[in-house]
Amino acid sequence: PVLFEIFGELWTVQSRLGQGVSASVYRVSSGRASTAAVKEFQADTQGGDYGYHKERSVLEDIQGHKNIVTLYGVFTNHSCMGVSTRCLLLELLDVSLSELLMRASPQGHSMWLIQHCARDILEALAFLHREGYVHADLKPRNILWSADDECFKLIDFGLSFKEGNQDVKYIQTDGYRAPEAELQNSLAQAGLEVEGGCTAAVDLWSLGVVLLEMFSGIKLKDTVRSKEWKDNSAAIIDHVFAKNMLRCPAIPVYHLRDLIKSMVVNNPTQRCTAEAALLSPFFSIPFAPHIQELVLLPSPVLRLINLIDDDHLNNDEEYEDIMDDMKEECQKYGSVVSLLIPRENPGKGQVYVEYANSSDSKEAQRLLMGRTFDGKFVVATFYPLSAYKRGYLYQIVQ
């Protein structure tokens, strides 16, 4: 589709964000510069119609949590060919964890990012499980970053079900499938009746594998399907952590290792719950982000590096001129709320620009990155809004 008519207003399709068996997701914008995502379910297929009603029902039941994608509304799209399709109008999110994993260094992600993602998704799961739901398809592609809310959010509830009332035969994705779900899928494939169904514990298993991939920097699909993993996953986790021990202090690493181990216990009744996992000492340790992660995670705050010499900072008149020049330049790309150039460490000589929204900061980053000022190449990264508001300027890990 080129256009969607949503609640009497025309929205333009800007791009297709993804396509599945029974639905496609599009980025759309209205004349008022609003942006959103539309999930359009295929017409005339039982899977499409069922998938729409199922996901709509789950999303309407669980709205209001900051780590779960927001459903704005539902509508029916009527194409010029006379075909009607059911659609969900959803919050537009940013980069997926799947994309972040593809861009990760061979040493994996920083402890800051792993902790941020783990806490956000555990908060989402704790809420979901309290409401009686199982997500049943937790994987990096279904974890997305929200620039405006500065957190990770859970999406795609097409396989979700109420615990004790599993209405989906096949759940979870290869590489992130819990042992009990693997067994159930095999029985269903053989045409055998499955008693009881899976529990919320399957989501914890998936998250454990996701966190291990973030730490190791490698996809573990073949590893988790191997006989060695099934015989002794704890030994493999120990091996992965032993190889990466030099990256950061031992105690936080041990806490993360133990947290992951508690999530991938073979027996689902012995697996930790989301609420118990949030009590892990891993979440009490402060970490700093890596510079490359701040390039990839949009926020309303932009940080410009490699721009200002100490000489300009020490001279009051030159400092004021630079403040004025930077504000004038940055306002070309959007509405600037505040601008800060620290004259001392931390953050000495770096320019922090707070925009009214992340759309403006993303456009500014796109246009400023790699430009030259005074013969210097500008490095433009994003910066956590919450840290900036508290006046906390990280000593960034290079």
Q: Which positions are catalytic?
A: 120, 137
Alpha carbon of 340 to those of 83, 307, 381: distances in Å? 53, 13, 15
| Residue 151 per-residue DSSP state | E
* 39 known ligand binder: yes
CA angle at 366 for the pair 380 and 91, rounded to the nearest 5°: 105
Please give the sequence-ordered ranges of beta strands (E in DSSP) within 159-308, or none if there are none.
161-162, 301-305
Using CA atoms, how far apart are residues 217 and 106, in angstroms rounded to an integer? Answer: 5
Q: What is the rounded distance in angstroms from the CA atom of residue 167 to the CA atom of residue 189?
A: 15
Output phi, psi for 9, to 5 deg.
-125, 140
Q: How many CB atoms lie within 10 A of CB 376?
A: 13
Q: Dihedral, CA atoms, 259, 261, 266, 267, nearest 10 degrees?
A: -40
Q: Contact at 8 Å (CB) between 278 and 284?
A: no
Which tokens go with 235?
């030994």
| Count of other CB atoms within 10 angstroms of residue 374 | 8
CB atoms within 10 A of CB 6: 19
User: Cβ contacts of residue 24 below 8 Å, gap of 6+?
Assistant: 16, 18, 39, 40
CA angle 214, 220, 224 (to 5 degrees): 125
For 223, which DSSP code? H
97-113 burial string, b = 16+ CB within 10 Å, else e?
beebbeebeeebbbbbb
Tell me the two tokens of residue 128: 């979901």
Give the closest residue to 84 by CA, choosing from 51, 49, 58: 49
- Residues at the binding site for ATP are 39
